[in-house]
């Protein structure tokens, strides 16, 4: 389903806490690419699909992420979200994704299933249509591909 007011498919890309430090933060786990570089690559990749527009949002604050998800109603057709540490704690973000009823894909750079036990539990994944984890920055590209194909199939 395309957004009613726009002809293009609008996708909101949300990154949670500490992802603003990508590039410097534990590079052996998260790589050396900065968030800005990932966003640029994602924008370039989005241009290979007809009529896809991305908007980016990063916050270290749970409530701000909840508010951004709420503001997506009737504006965005889909959401890509790396909730970072809130993946493993946030009922509020999971509820917000369910409340807006916008298809969302959960993203992780690292493979959360091969790390500490507490990372194996995702509160947010059940609110999403799917989860992509473990492919570094390519997790974002793969998630965009899957979300666009999902939205196209609903047109
Ligand atoms: C992460 C995985 C989380 O467990 C962690 O808290 C992050 C990043 C990832 O992208 O691999 O901040 O979401």
Q: Backbone phi, then psi, for 93, in 5-degree steps? A: -70, -40
Record the tokens describing residue 137, joined without a space. 């920055």
Q: Ligand 1 center to residue 131 CA distance, Å? A: 13
- Sign for the CA dihedral angle at 117, 122, 123, 126 comes to negative
Which ligand 1 atom lies nearest to the CA of residue 85?
6
**Which residue's CA is minimally distant from atom 7 of ligand 1?**
84
Look at ligand 1, atom 8, and give the residue with the nearest C-alpha: 84
Active site members: 30, 108
As for ligand 1, residues whose beta carbon falls within 6 Å of it are: 18, 82, 84-85, 87, 108-110, 112, 119
Is the pTM higher than 0.75? The answer reads: yes
Cα distance between residue 118 and residue 104, in whole Å: 22
pLDDT tens string, the chain, 155 residues long: the values are 554 455 899 999 999 999 999 999 999 999 999 999 999 999 999 999 999 999 999 999 999 999 999 999 999 999 999 999 999 999 999 999 999 999 999 999 999 999 999 999 999 999 999 999 999 999 999 999 999 999 999 87
């Amino acid at each position: 389903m395309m957004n009613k007011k726009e002809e293009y498919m609008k996708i909101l890309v949300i990154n949670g806490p500490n992802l603003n430090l990508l590039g410097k933060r534990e590079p052996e786990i998260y790589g050396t690419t900065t968030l800005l570089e990932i966003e640029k690559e994602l924008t370039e990749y989005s241009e290979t699909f007809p009529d896809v527009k991305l908007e980016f949002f990063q916050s270290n604050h749970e409530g701000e992420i909840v508010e951004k998800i709420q503001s997506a109603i009737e504006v965005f057709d889909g959401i890509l979200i790396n909730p970072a540490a809130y993946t493993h704690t946030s009922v509020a973000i999971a509820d917000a994704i369910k409340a807006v009823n916008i298809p969302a894909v959960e993203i992780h750079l690292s493979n959360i299933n091969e790390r500490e036990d507490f990372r194996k539990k995702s509160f947010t994944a059940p609110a999403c249509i799917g989860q992509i984890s473990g492919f570094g920055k390519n997790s974002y590209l793969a998630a965009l591909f899957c979300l666009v194909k999902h939205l196209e199939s609903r047109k």
